[in-house]
Structure 1
Amino acid sequence: MKKILSVSSKNELAAFIDFPHDLYKDDPYYVPELFIAQRDLLTKHPFHKHNQLQCFLAYDGDKVVGRIAAILNNAHNQYNKANDGFFGFFDCINDQETANMLFDIATKWLKGKGVIGKIMGPVNFSTNEPCGLLVEGFDSSPFLMQTYNFPYYAQLIEGFGFQKDVDLIAWHWDGNNYDDKSVKLLNALTERLKRNNIIIRKVNLKNFKEETIKLREVYNSAWDQNTGFVPLTDEEFNYLAADLKLILDPDFALVAEQDGKIVAFGLALPNYNEIFKKIKRGRLLPTGIFKLLLGKKKIQSLRIYALGVVEGYRKMGIEAVLYGTIIKNYTEKGLKHAEAGWTLENNTMINEAIKAIKGDPYKKYRLYQKQI
């Protein structure tokens, strides 16, 4: 007998977090999320102070066979003048009945909160966090903070009546297989920017609190036209920044600054998924912490996580200098793989720029929507 239960206890929350580990136990590309990070995301993240979320588990007898979270993102609705809801943290066995039960309970919960527009997803809160359903590129593990799922998920989601909203593209470079034009032009472009009093520098980790304030302004300005974008509050951005500070490499955390004002930043992150993949069920204790500490210097890949330029400073060469500097440092460190993304499929300007430096559009993620 199949049934749906609302997650309300610590044990149920643990079952919710752990379900993917069992579902993907034989999948060679699956990367477990760290348990402590997922627990904090679902219970302590500043998102919960002004938004609502309810997790659900699907059971077949005593066995968990699916999970979903219904998400009411008030900030999204206020910013976009909408009355929509989201679903996220969706995982399910290959069974349409189970999937329908999960989507149905999420829809009913959102309706109960007054949502009358669309339900969109998958997003694990918003597009500021991991989002999108993998629909192309199942032959490799995800990079850091990217999603992963079985191919049949698309059938389950579309089987409930969801339709494509937009696709998100991830780009890949293998070894030195990239166009180094931006590296060759780096000095000339840097000098041209200096004539406009624009300098490129590393993020100042010693003055990280003040840097974070400036970076939030750039983030909320540079991405405000993206589908599903929601401005981050001070507390939300500080939460994200504190997490990223733990893993960033200063050589890949760059800002463009004019007369003390940050007008752009580029951030690439070591691909810690190379280590997380080896940490059983996402538990740092008793042995996972040693794998994490010992594996940091062995990471061979990099994810270009964010690159944004505020309006009025685009097409000045800042993007090329940020990319060129990241590529230069990537080469000097001897890394073997890099991923950039995601980018919106309809962001022609950035996509053409990535193609020009031989980026391979090797993975595609999809956001869905359905009228409630």
Structure 2
Amino acid sequence: MIEIKKVEGKKQLAAFVDFPHILYEGDPNYVPELHIAQHDILTPGKHPFHKHSTMQLFLAYKDGVIKGRIAAILNNNHNKFKNVTEGFFGFYDLYNDREVSKKLLNEAEKWLIDKGATKMIGPVNPSTNETAGLLIDGFDSPPVAMMTYNKPYYLDLLTEEGFKKNVDLLAYDLPTNVVDKKTLKLKELLRQRLKDRNIIIRNINLKDFDSEVQKILKVYNAAWQENTGFVPMTDDEFKYLAKDLKMILDKDFAFVAEYEGNTIGFALAIPDINQTLIKIKKGRLLPTGIFKLLFGKKKINYVRVIALGVNKEYRKAGIEAFFYAEIIQRAMDKKIRGGEASWILEDNEMMNKGLLKMNAKVYKRYRIFEKAI
């Protein structure tokens, strides 16, 4: 017998957070999320997403044992920005059981319909500003920092319930030893050309971090607004994310572009902290996880280019190419083996062409689905 229950109280929330650890036990590519981070993002009052939107968590029990989980999500900021009536689902994890999947998705659908939604999109956890997409290709290696991972059968379970492709998100692998040398040779020429146009590229100033974050937020919300699924981040959401990223940030991989003192673009690559998190049991920092995290950071040999954007009127000036060249050069100087550029929308022609020119290859593909409800 399958029973779907709303998550209510600390005990069920803990079970919701911990379920993936049971599901993926023994999977060499599974990286546990930090327990405290997952707990906060799912708890009203802990994460700024809950200030403007709502979600309901569900657990599926079969013969009294948890067999799956899902979150139904109403992102009010998304609907207001896009002028739509869409709902989302996320935190979708389960055993390979079609009946469990059907009941979880139906329960989330009913909750969303009750809130006025006419379409169901996902998975997003809980929005495209956090982790998003279902891995559909590239199961042979662990995910990098802030990217998703799931079992291959999830794809069949979703399509069997009528979900269709909304958009694919691409992840590129770029080892430093295969980078097209022209990219690096042009770097200084690009720097001079930009300087001649009064565009300066510099590292982020960590001593003035709060001010830098405010400037970067303006670029983020302007440069990404035409992207599929984009929702502007609130000040609180961006500050929350920035605070988390600051703990692992390497200023040598964080850049801003300025025109006459105004920030017009930024690029950020972060160390692949998943190389360390994969060794932390159930994502818990205490009692020993914190030491694995601190000492493991020194051994990380891969980065993720997590964000790279330029205000529309300054695109095609060479800023994006310079950002990538500078990140690659810094990675080579630090003896880092390479990096992932992700995620890139499949229809982002300029970014995809640029990465292919540098000899990057698509090695993982993620998909966001949709279904009319």
TM-score normalised by length of structure 1: 0.99
Q: CA deviation at 1:286?
A: 0.7
Contact 1:180–1:324 (CA<8 Å) still a contact in 2? Answer: no
SS of 1:126's equivalent? coil
Which of 112, 115, 119 is matched with 2:114 structurally? Answer: 112
Structure 2 residue aligned with 1:227: 228
In structure 1, C-alpha distance between the alignment counterparts of 2:349 and 2:181, rounded to whole Å:
21
Q: Give the SS at the match of 1:312.
A: helix
In the alignment, the residues of structure 1 paired with residue 66 and residue 88 of structure 2 have an alpha-carbon distance, to the nearest angstrom, of 22
The match for 1:69 is 71
Q: In 2, distance between residues paired with 1:57 and 1:138?
A: 26
Extract unaligned runs of 5+ from structure 1: none
The one-letter amino acid paired with 2:95 is I
Q: Give the AA of the match of 1:39.
A: H
Matched with 1:57 is 59
Distance (Å, rounded) in 2 between the aligned partners of 1:284 and 1:56: 26
Partner of 2:186: 185
Using the alignment, how far apart are the partners of 1:257 and 1:155 within structure 2? 47
- Counterpart residue type for residue 62 of structure 1: G
Correspondence 1:187-202 to 2 at 5 A: 187-202=188-203
Task: Give yes or no for contact 1:167–1:365 (8 Å, CA) kept in 2.
Answer: yes
SS in 1 for 2:370: strand
- Output the CA distance in 1 between the equivalents of 2:180 and 2:22: 41
> 2:343 aligns to what?
342
| 1:300 and 2:301 correspond | yes
For 2:165 and 2:297, the matched residues in 1 are separated by 38
String of CA shifts for 1:35-57, please: whole Å, max 9, x gaps: 00100111111010110011100
Could you tell me how far apart the structure 2 residues matched to 1:53 and 1:276 are? 27
Runs of 4+ displaced beyond 3 Å: none
Paired position in structure 2 for 1:86? 88
Distance in 2 separating the partners of 1:244 and 1:182: 28
| One-letter amino acid matched to 1:201 | R
Following superposition of structure 1 onto structure 2, how do residues 16-27 of structure 1 map, counting pairs within 5 Å? 16-27=16-27
Contact in 1 for aligned 2:81/2:231 (Cα 8 Å): yes
Alignment-derived partner of residue 247 in structure 1: 248
Contact 1:263 1:313 in 2 (8 A): yes
C-alpha deviation, 1:114, in angstroms: 1.6
Counterpart of 1:33? 33
Q: Secondary structure at the match of 2:313?
A: coil
Q: CA deviation at 1:148?
A: 0.3
Amino acid at match of 2:155: A
State the distance in 2 between where 1:241 and 1:175 align: 27
1:6-17 matches, cutoff 5 A: 6-17=6-17
- Is 1:272 paired with 2:278? no
Aligned partner of residue 176 in structure 1, secondary structure: helix
- Give 1:262 deviation, angstroms: 0.6
Counterpart CA distance in 1 for 2:54 and 2:313 is 36
Residues 74-130 of structure 1: CA deviation (Å, up to 9, x unaligned): 000000000000000000110110000000000001111121x21000000211111
RMSD: 0.7
In percent, how many aligned pairs have the same letter?
55
DSSP-derived class of the 1:127 partner: coil
Post-superposition CA distance 1:151-206 (Å, at most 9, x none): 00000011111001111100002341111322111111101101111110011110
Aligned to 1:369: 370
Deviations 1:49-68 (A, max 9, x none): 11001110001122110000
Q: SS of the counterpart of 1:94?
A: coil
State the 1:337 CA deviation.
Answer: 2.8
Match for 2:79: what amino acid?
Answer: N
Per the alignment, residue 168 of structure 1 pairs with: 169
Contact 2:176 2:331 in 1 (8 A): no
The one-letter code matched in structure 1 to 2:180 is: D
Mapped to 2, the partners of 1:14 and 1:133 lie a distance apart of 23
- Secondary structure in structure 2 of the residue aligned to 1:151: coil
**What secondary structure, in the 3-state scheme, does the structure 1 residue paired with 2:193 have?**
helix
CA contact (8 A) 1:71 1:88 kept: yes
Q: Give me the whole-angstrom Cα distance separating, in 2, the residues matched to 1:28 and 1:121.
A: 25
Give the distance between the partners of 2:72 and 2:31, measured in 1 at CA: 23
Read off the aligned partner of 2:113 and give its amino acid letter: K
Q: Secondary structure at 1:173's aligned position in 2? A: strand
1:356 maps onto 2:368 in alignment: no
Q: Is the 8 A contact 1:309 1:319 kept in 2?
A: yes
Residue 99 of structure 2 aligns with an amino acid whose one-letter code is E
Q: Is the CA contact (8 Å cut-off) linking 1:4 and 1:57 kept in structure 2? A: yes
